[in-house]
Amino acid sequence: MVVLVVATATDPASIGPAAAFLAMPGWSPGPPIPEGMESFTNGNVRLLKHERSIIAEDDLDLRWQEATGEVVSEIIFLSKHTAVSNRPALTVHPIGVPHLREDETPPQGGRPGWAALTNPRIGPWLRLMQKVAADQGLVPEFEITLEATHHGPLTSTPTMFVEIGSTEEYWGRQDAAQAIALVLWKGLGLEDGNAVGTWLGNGEKVLLGIGGGHYAPRHMDIVGLMNWLFLRARAV
């Protein structure tokens, strides 16, 4: 099984971290795939680059398996983050729009009432991101935060978004891109073989968060204090 990391060339906060990730050792050209996409391989990690909107890339895990024969165990999307505060930020979050009624139209992909399987790395990677950002000198300028579910695309595989926010000035910041690349490098075990947040199913404690607003500050406080896997936050 493979981990699929997805980036789009149309988003500087997506392609920047992808380029920094690819600059690390061990990469080779990935399997040929259709649809004008480019792929790279490093161990069990596959980096996929395309030029379309990430939130419109429904069923990318199933399409990858059909094209390559490789089963996807999880998806990590790289993307920009926007906020009315315009504050620089690094964020992680699950995806889905479970709060919408069937007659409502999702503004940013997904399906009303649907939520993706949540990538269990979210809690551990939030803590890893806090450490990497501090080590790289991004704190306190950048806020490190957790978001609730709020958009698509549709997937059938445990999924998470890793983002840089919150304006164009920060989306293209090389130091922020390098920090995200380091989170990927360390978190997926490419640095030393010790991945962070891998789900083993051996009784690990799991936190299911409901409510708390878009940034779910109480959930984030608990995740920061406890060595738990974090499955979902959804504002209600």
Which tokens belong to 181? 């690349």
pLDDT of residue 131: 94
Nearest by Cα to 114 from 72, 85, 81, 156: 156
Report the chain's terminal Cα–Cα distance, integer Å.
35
Least confident span in 29-38, 137-146, 175-184? 29-38
Fold of the domain built from segment(s) 2-198: Aminopeptidase (3.40.630)
Question: Using one digit for the tens of pLDDT, what is the confidence trace for 140-170?
Answer: 999 998 877 766 688 999 999 999 998 989 9
Q: How far apart are CA 50 and CA 63, in angstroms?
A: 14
List C-alpha distances in Å: 137 to 79, 131, 140, 160, 170.
21, 10, 8, 25, 15
Global confidence as pTM: 0.86
> Which is it for strands 72-82 and 159-166: parallel, antiparallel or unpaired?
parallel
- 43 conformational bin, left if phi > 0, alpha if psi -120 to 50, beta if neither: left
Mean pLDDT of 202-222: 67
Q: Where are the alpha helices (DSSP H) in 105-160?
A: 122-135
Residue % of the chain over a pLDDT of 70 = 77
235 neighbors 99 (Cβ within 8 angstroms): yes
Model confidence at 47, in pLDDT bands (50, 70, 90)? very high
Question: 86-95: per-residue pLDDT in tens?
Answer: 889 999 988 8
Answer yes or no: is pLDDT of 231 > 70: no
